Chain A
Amino acid sequence: MQRIRLRYTKRGRLRFTSHRDFQRAFERALRRSAVPMAYSAGFTPHPKVSYANAAPTGVASEAEYLEIGLAAVRDPEQLRAQLDESLPAGLDVIDAVEVRTPNFVERLEASEWLVRLDGVEPDQAAKAVRTFLAEEKVEVERRTKNGVRVFDARGAVAALEAVEPQVDGGTDTAAGTDRDVRTGRPCAILRLVVRHATPAVRPDDVLSGLRATADLAPPVPAEVTRLAQGPLDEESGTVTDPLALDRAAAPAG
């Protein structure tokens, strides 16, 4: 059985796709593009797909990963293009490698997030970041199915900084200002790197922490995008490509 790892996105309005929604959409795309899937044994066979670490509903992502098992050998790049064509725009398949190394999920050590705070002055955000980072521990609450849970949101944060509000070649803000081009309001942007720990610390939890330590209260919900997930380079506080090992292990040619 050939196995292929794919990187896909949840962009724009399709960030509201839940993980279950994505699974159904992906399995239908497999059928439409007639991918020769390997099936699980048993009374109701399922195509072999495993998903890693999906981003929450409402959060955009440039770096989601999954792995599929095939019953026949396919060229990874052709397969990627085929699946990308078959999925709606916004759910884009952007990378594919043949599996050559084990323990992929363990390799996803951390995620890099971009958090866009509409209506927040960049200076105010930068100040809040400094206050948060100065703390050793920042306790936050999250409502879960089993009631309210209290945990530390500081320890898992490997990097946090307020960055220039310029994304995608500066289309986000009007030239030379920190005003949002769509709303004309101020807009702060945070870059955040969080280790994948237990309990999982999400960008939302870090925002709760910013509120708790520095009274940072954005007037509208933050727009969050996962930019990367993979091995964490502790020194630089950056996340590297989790598919690099498989690529390196591929025979030359």
Chain B
Amino acid sequence: MTVESVFPRLEALLPHVQKPIQYVGGELNSTVKDWDACDVRWALMYPDAYEVGLPNQGVMILYEVLNEREGVLAERTYSVWPDLEALMREHRVPQFTVDAHRPVKAFDVFGLSFSTELGYTNMLTALDLAGIPLEAKDRTDEDPIVLAGGHAAFNPEPIADFLDCAVIGDGEQAVLDITEIIRAWKAEGRPGGRDELLLRLARTGGVYVPKFYDVEYLADGRIGRVVPNAPGVPWRVSKHTVMDLDEWPYPKQPLVPLAETVHERMSVEIFRGCTRGCRFCQAGMITRPVRERSITGIGEMVERGLKATGFEEVGLLSLSSADHTEIGDIAKGLADRYTEDKIGLSLPSTRVDAFNIDLANELSRNGRRSGLTFAPEGGSERMRKVINKMVSEEDLIRTVATAYGNGWRQVKLYFMCGLPTETDEDVLQIGEMAKNVIQKGREVTGQNDIRCTVSIGGFVPKPHTPFQWAPQLSAEATDARLAKLRDSIRGDRKYGKNIGYRYHDGKPGIVEGLLSRGDRRVGAVIRAVYEDGGRFDGWREYFSYDRWMASAEKGLAGTGVDVDWYTTRERSYEEVLPWDHLDSGLDKDWLWEDWQDALEEVEVDDCRWTPCFDCGVCPQMDTAIQIGPTGKKLLPLTVVNK
């Protein structure tokens, strides 16, 4: 059955919407395959606007991995802005893919990648526009399998009602395994319909199918237990991990959009995982163990990617890029190869203590010395011990002096407010640190016009971290603390004018907290928000705290629990957490011990350089961290005759 393009009908709407180019597809390196020549078809969605979704590496990687396979096709879809949504509803144009403008409902799988929980309402918009029932229980064999992945999927319980399944961990191999299961089931004539397919997926132990698990609650509202309700379905679902990144050099042909997007650069993931052990960091915990891409693998990806895209910047991505065992040689090798071509190099996540003068010089070789960003996260030494961000103020000042000495004039520092055990005094230390940075900058450069911007986000406790038991600071207390810091910075006559102060108010963090540590009962809240018009919750101009609170009251009525119960309440050791049956590889007892260490301000070293501290991931996966050095170097690509 051939599926028709909705483009002719969409085209008539485009002159009436903002930035129509985002809906037409046609990106360089995009792929449109013959529908009828494929037997397994994926619609991949990043549930945010195109400008944010297109550069997403996860979607780009899976898109390419799937399309490379014979008989498999993948197309992309993104959230449409409310102006187009209204027109699509009026003219009955369904949610479409941007590649061939096929209706999402026609695909076998509708896969969504959630980097953040704030995309949940956008998923409901897309399902509804696609004509797919919002709740999994109402779907028929005519509907695609709705599958979630991404970091937020490590606790899929708040969206369990809307999902057919979820996959946690690395997607590269997982999507291929799922494809084969679907292919076999279709080839057999779809025995047992949708349920049989979901059962086959669930029995692999690597795909979570919420409907095959019953959640039992205690009288006080806590979870009693989570029990599989179908034969052969495992008690716990494990995460997927690809061990050798050099075997997966994706994206090979990165998408180059015509529309402007948030990241316009050739991104190469130089390693996955992180062993620094920052206790607030969900990404660092759930992506263990550390797996480095080799220096030569990185070199090949950069070379091929630049040829395929024409980008003028290379971003070396990871959770802490300066920690790659051969980062110095990588930066030098790439700078040697590409400075002539005016290609810039950036390290989006750089640690204070791993940044050194050589790296600074390699990164700025093409003359561009824009701002430098570091994330001490905690303002006081004590706070940094609690969160295990082992950076001393001395380290920071030394690094900053190096940076200023090498021509940088602008330093940006990231912090969090609302960390466990935090007091006003800890937060006021942020201002002191900024002053010391400026003072040092003035000393090193002999100039007065040194700027330091402090940017502060609210801390949200996340599942699968040592802080998963912690109470979240209320919105009011967060705002009060940040106001005190603002007053203390503004009131400083010597440095106040040179300190930029950016912060977010505490309200969005509470909604994020509700969604991060919520259970299945939170689904009713998300649905109520969506039905009340909630969209694009990651965007300040669309986010409505009041709508979320009103919807929470409605959605949680009769459950005996409320928003505070999910956010500001501290959990105990015995409590069954909503995500306990999703196995990130981390040992729950180790997480608890690390939580206790945090409260006692005890730090834990990085296992790259010190013995294993038994977080549980490696033994469970029967592996070890995969790091260099390889000792290889990036050689010049061509002999230059001058």
- A interface, CB within 8 angstroms of B: 13-14, 16-18, 20-22, 24-25, 27-32, 39, 43-45, 57-58, 86, 88-90, 182, 220-221
Q: Does B310 contact A (CB under 8 A)?
A: yes
- Known contacts: A221-B12, A221-B16. The answer to whether A32 contacts B368 by CB under 8 A is no
- Give every chain A residue within 8 A of B368 (Cβ-Cβ): 44
Residue of B nearest to A18 (CB): B21
- Known contacts: A45-B342, A58-B15, A220-B12. The answer to whether A14 contacts B307 by CB under 8 A is no
- Give every chain A residue within 8 A of B259 (Cβ-Cβ): 21
In the complex, the answer to whether A43 meets B367 with C-beta atoms within 8 Å is: yes
In the complex, the answer to whether B258 meets A17 with C-beta atoms within 8 Å is: yes
Residue of B nearest to A45 (CB): B342
Residue of B nearest to A224 (CB): B15
Complex CA–CA separation, A22 to B15 (angstroms): 18
In the complex, the answer to whether B309 meets A28 with C-beta atoms within 8 Å is: yes
Which one of B23-31, B145-153, B602-610 is at the interface? B23-31
Minimum CB–CB distance from A122 to chain B (whole Å) comes to 20
In the complex, the answer to whether B25 meets A13 with C-beta atoms within 8 Å is: yes
- Give every chain A residue within 8 A of B7 (Cβ-Cβ): 13
Complex CA–CA separation, A72 to B252 (angstroms): 31
In the complex, the answer to whether A29 meets B21 with C-beta atoms within 8 Å is: no
Residue of A nearest to B7 (CB): A13
In the complex, the answer to whether A21 meets B21 with C-beta atoms within 8 Å is: yes
Complex CA–CA separation, A25 to B418 (angstroms): 44
Minimum CB–CB distance from A172 to chain B (whole Å) comes to 14
- Give every chain B residue within 8 A of A182 (Cβ-Cβ): 8
In the complex, the answer to whether B12 meets A21 with C-beta atoms within 8 Å is: no
Complex CA–CA separation, A182 to B7 (angstroms): 12
- Give every chain B residue within 8 A of A29 (Cβ-Cβ): 310
In the complex, the answer to whether B258 meets A32 with C-beta atoms within 8 Å is: no
Q: Which of A32, A44, A220, A221 contacts B309 (CB 8 A)?
A: A32
- Give every chain B residue within 8 A of A22 (Cβ-Cβ): 258
In the complex, the answer to whether B26 meets A21 with C-beta atoms within 8 Å is: no
In the complex, the answer to whether B20 meets A16 with C-beta atoms within 8 Å is: yes
In the complex, the answer to whether B308 meets A32 with C-beta atoms within 8 Å is: yes
**Which B residues, 1 to 37, have Cβ-Cβ distances below 8 Å to chain A?**
7-8, 11-12, 14-16, 19-21, 23-28
Name the residue among A16, A18, A45, A57 with the largest chain B CB count within 10 angstroms.
A16
Q: Does B312 contact A (CB under 8 A)?
A: yes
Minimum CB–CB distance from B345 to chain A (whole Å) comes to 15
Q: Does B311 contact A (CB under 8 A)?
A: yes
Residue of A nearest to B306 (CB): A31
In the complex, the answer to whether B12 meets A16 with C-beta atoms within 8 Å is: no
- Give every chain B residue within 8 A of A20 (Cβ-Cβ): 260
- Known contacts: A21-B258, A220-B12. The answer to whether A28 contacts B20 by CB under 8 A is no
Q: Does B256 contact A (CB under 8 A)?
A: yes
New A-B pairs, 9, CB < 8 Å, besides A17-B21, A29-B310: A13-B11, A25-B256, A27-B310, A30-B310, A31-B306, A88-B26, A88-B258, A89-B26, A220-B12
- Known contacts: A32-B308, A43-B367, A45-B342. The answer to whether A16 contacts B14 by CB under 8 A is yes
In the complex, the answer to whether B20 meets A21 with C-beta atoms within 8 Å is: no
* Contact mask for chain B residues 273-304; partner A; CB cutoff 8 A; 1 contact, 0 none: 00000000000000000000000000000000
- Give every chain A residue within 8 A of B307 (Cβ-Cβ): 32
- B interface, CB within 8 angstroms of A: 7-8, 11-12, 14-16, 19-21, 23-28, 256, 258-260, 264, 306-312, 341-342, 367-368
Complex CA–CA separation, A90 to B25 (angstroms): 12
- Give every chain A residue within 8 A of B25 (Cβ-Cβ): 13
- Give every chain A residue within 8 A of B12 (Cβ-Cβ): 220-221
Complex CA–CA separation, A27 to B264 (angstroms): 13
In the complex, the answer to whether A88 meets B14 with C-beta atoms within 8 Å is: no
Q: Which of B20, B256, B264, B342 contacts A57 (CB 8 A)?
A: B20
Residue of A nearest to B29 (CB): A88
Complex CA–CA separation, A221 to B19 (angstroms): 16
- Give every chain B residue within 8 A of A17 (Cβ-Cβ): 21, 258
Complex CA–CA separation, A39 to B342 (angstroms): 10
- A–B Cβ pairs within 8 angstroms, 6 of them: A13-B24, A16-B24, A28-B256, A28-B309, A31-B306, A31-B312
- Give every chain B residue within 8 A of A30 (Cβ-Cβ): 310
In the complex, the answer to whether A58 meets B20 with C-beta atoms within 8 Å is: yes
- Give every chain B residue within 8 A of A43 (Cβ-Cβ): 367
Residue of B nearest to A220 (CB): B12
- Give every chain B residue within 8 A of A31 (Cβ-Cβ): 306, 310-312, 341
Minimum CB–CB distance from B552 to chain A (whole Å) comes to 40
In the complex, the answer to whether A28 meets B21 with C-beta atoms within 8 Å is: no
Q: Which of B11, B23, B260, B308 contacts A24 (CB 8 A)?
A: B260
- Give every chain B residue within 8 A of A32 (Cβ-Cβ): 307-310
- Give every chain B residue within 8 A of A24 (Cβ-Cβ): 258, 260, 264
In the complex, the answer to whether A21 meets B260 with C-beta atoms within 8 Å is: yes
Minimum CB–CB distance from A56 to chain B (whole Å) comes to 11
- Give every chain B residue within 8 A of A39 (Cβ-Cβ): 342
Residue of A nearest to B22 (CB): A16
- Give every chain A residue within 8 A of B308 (Cβ-Cβ): 32
In the complex, the answer to whether B26 meets A90 with C-beta atoms within 8 Å is: yes
Minimum CB–CB distance from B401 to chain A (whole Å) comes to 24
Residue of A nearest to B264 (CB): A24
Minimum CB–CB distance from A23 to chain B (whole Å) comes to 10
- Give every chain B residue within 8 A of A58 (Cβ-Cβ): 14-15, 20
Nearest first, the 5 A-B pairs at minimum CB distance are A28-B310, A31-B310, A32-B310, A16-B20, A221-B15
Complex CA–CA separation, A22 to B307 (angstroms): 19
- Give every chain B residue within 8 A of A221 (Cβ-Cβ): 12, 15-16
Minimum CB–CB distance from A123 to chain B (whole Å) comes to 24
Minimum CB–CB distance from A71 to chain B (whole Å) comes to 12
- Give every chain B residue within 8 A of A44 (Cβ-Cβ): 367-368
Complex CA–CA separation, A90 to B21 (angstroms): 13
Minimum CB–CB distance from A189 to chain B (whole Å) comes to 17
In the complex, the answer to whether A88 meets B28 with C-beta atoms within 8 Å is: yes
Minimum CB–CB distance from B83 to chain A (whole Å) comes to 14
Complex CA–CA separation, A220 to B27 (angstroms): 27
In the complex, the answer to whether A25 meets B258 with C-beta atoms within 8 Å is: yes
Residue of A nearest to B11 (CB): A13
Minimum CB–CB distance from B266 to chain A (whole Å) comes to 11
Minimum CB–CB distance from B340 to chain A (whole Å) comes to 12
Complex CA–CA separation, A13 to B98 (angstroms): 11
Residue of A nearest to B30 (CB): A88
Minimum CB–CB distance from A158 to chain B (whole Å) comes to 26
Complex CA–CA separation, A29 to B15 (angstroms): 27
- Give every chain B residue within 8 A of A57 (Cβ-Cβ): 20-21
Complex CA–CA separation, A220 to B13 (angstroms): 9
- Give every chain A residue within 8 A of B27 (Cβ-Cβ): 88
Complex CA–CA separation, A220 to B28 (angstroms): 30
Residue of A nearest to B28 (CB): A88
Residue of A nearest to B12 (CB): A220
Name the residue among A13, A29, A43 with the largest chain B CB count within 10 angstroms.
A13
- Give every chain B residue within 8 A of A88 (Cβ-Cβ): 26-28, 258
Minimum CB–CB distance from B515 to chain A (whole Å) comes to 34
Residue of A nearest to B368 (CB): A44
- Give every chain A residue within 8 A of B256 (Cβ-Cβ): 25, 28
Complex CA–CA separation, A29 to B21 (angstroms): 18
